[in-house]
């Protein structure tokens, strides 16, 4: 049976590395001190009709389907009594996400069960990456969030979708950046990032979030162990990292996050030799009109990357 094989593929891997309890439970919320969307930041308040109309433009990165009764029923382990009402609530959760109201988005997502877990995970991850300044606290939240994703999705009897796999890979990729090389190797994090992203691409070969994760995977491995060892041990290559980012931007040239990540990768892989190219990516990212709160936060990150590199050169 396919469902049992899919569960086994991830469930036993997670048990082996000690990141999943034997009887997972997803009843609880992550404990997070939420930072509200600052008043001085721009507003991205879509109406339900506007969000419905602009859904594809807002979701080129993850290709998650637009909420509908059919979507809710297709994702549900236990079908809701009122799928149309659940779909409307889920759409409102995405409205909150795009507006930067990450706590509201998270709580709505959790309340919707499997159909809303992806929304909930996007909300806490975006909040952790951009609105938690303390790195130790950010790592703590990433660890807790990873456990929640594993219990919600990867250990479920229902096979994970491509957007869920890509989202999980993205969380692991961010987690990897905050831990030591020794710890990453001990927990098998690089391999897990690659496996999840490749599994997403097996289902959907042109999902930008998974392509970006693969570019980040090659970058991270090379940056940690060096080009020769990365190539011999992990098959990681600088050219391959670039190819993944280029494929991502070919699908959506206005994907701000991809341009910022590409710029960071160029600086990590080549240093001064490709600083002009990295700067061009950052300037391009800053020239794009942000579509939602996440875009705006990514532009703030682009400015931070640019300033940090300028300080490095002084």
Structure pTM?
0.89
Tens place of pLDDT per residue across the chain (314 aa): 233 334 435 444 443 333 433 333 344 567 788 999 999 999 999 999 999 999 999 999 999 999 999 999 999 878 888 999 999 999 999 999 999 999 999 999 999 999 999 999 999 999 999 999 999 999 999 999 899 898 888 777 778 999 999 999 999 999 999 999 999 989 999 999 999 999 999 999 999 999 999 999 999 999 988 888 888 888 889 999 999 999 999 999 999 999 999 999 999 999 999 999 999 999 999 999 999 999 999 999 999 999 988 887 76
- Please, what sign has the CA dihedral across residues 253, 213, 195, 126? negative
DSSP per-residue string spanning 213-249: HHHHHHHHHHHHH-HHHIIIII---HHHHHHHHHHHH
CB atoms within 10 A of CB 19: 18
Q: How far are the Cα atoms of 1, 61, 211, 269, 271 from residue 167, in angstroms, in the given order?
A: 25, 10, 11, 24, 29
106 contact partners, CB below 8 Å, separation of at least 6: 29, 30, 32, 34, 119, 120, 123, 124, 127
Domain boundaries, the chain: 1-20+44-160, 181-252, 255-314
């Amino acid at each position: 049976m396919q469902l049992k094989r899919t569960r086994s593929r991830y469930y036993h891997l997670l048990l082996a590395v000690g990141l999943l309890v034997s009887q997972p439970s997803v009843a609880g919320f992550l404990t997070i001190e939420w930072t509200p969307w600052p008043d001085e930041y721009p507003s991205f308040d879509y109406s339900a009709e506007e969000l419905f109309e602009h859904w594809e433009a807002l979701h080129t990165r993850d290709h998650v389907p637009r909420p509908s009764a059919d979507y809710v029923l297709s994702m549900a382990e236990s079908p809701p009594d009122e799928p149309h009402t659940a779909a409307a609530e889920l759409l409102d959760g995405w409205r909150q996400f795009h507006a930067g109201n990450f706590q509201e988005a998270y709580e709505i997502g959790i309340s919707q069960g499997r159909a809303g877990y992806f929304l909930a995970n996007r909300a806490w991850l975006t909040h952790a990456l951009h609105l938690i300044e303390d790195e130790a606290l950010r790592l703590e939240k990433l660890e807790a969030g990873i456990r929640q994703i594993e219990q919600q999705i990867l250990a479920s009897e229902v096979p994970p979708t491509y957007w869920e796999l890509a989202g999980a890979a993205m969380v692991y990729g961010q987690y990897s950046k905050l831990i030591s090389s020794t710890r990453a190797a001990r927990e098998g994090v690089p391999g897990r990032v690659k496996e999840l992203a490749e599994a997403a691409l097996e289902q959907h070969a042109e999902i930008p979030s998974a392509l970006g994760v693969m570019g980040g995977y090659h970058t991270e491995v090379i940056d940690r162990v060096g080009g020769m060892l990365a190539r011999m041990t992990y098959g990681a290559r600088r050219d391959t990292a670039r190819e993944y980012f280029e494929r991502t931007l070919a699908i959506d040239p206005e994907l701000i996050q991809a341009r910022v990540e590409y710029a960071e990768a160029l600086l990590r892989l080549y240093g001064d030799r490709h600083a002009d190219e990295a700067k061009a990516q950052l300037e391009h990212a800053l020239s794009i009109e942000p579509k939602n709160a996440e875009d705006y936060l990514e532009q703030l990150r682009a400015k931070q990357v640019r300033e940090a590199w300028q300080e490095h050169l002084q």
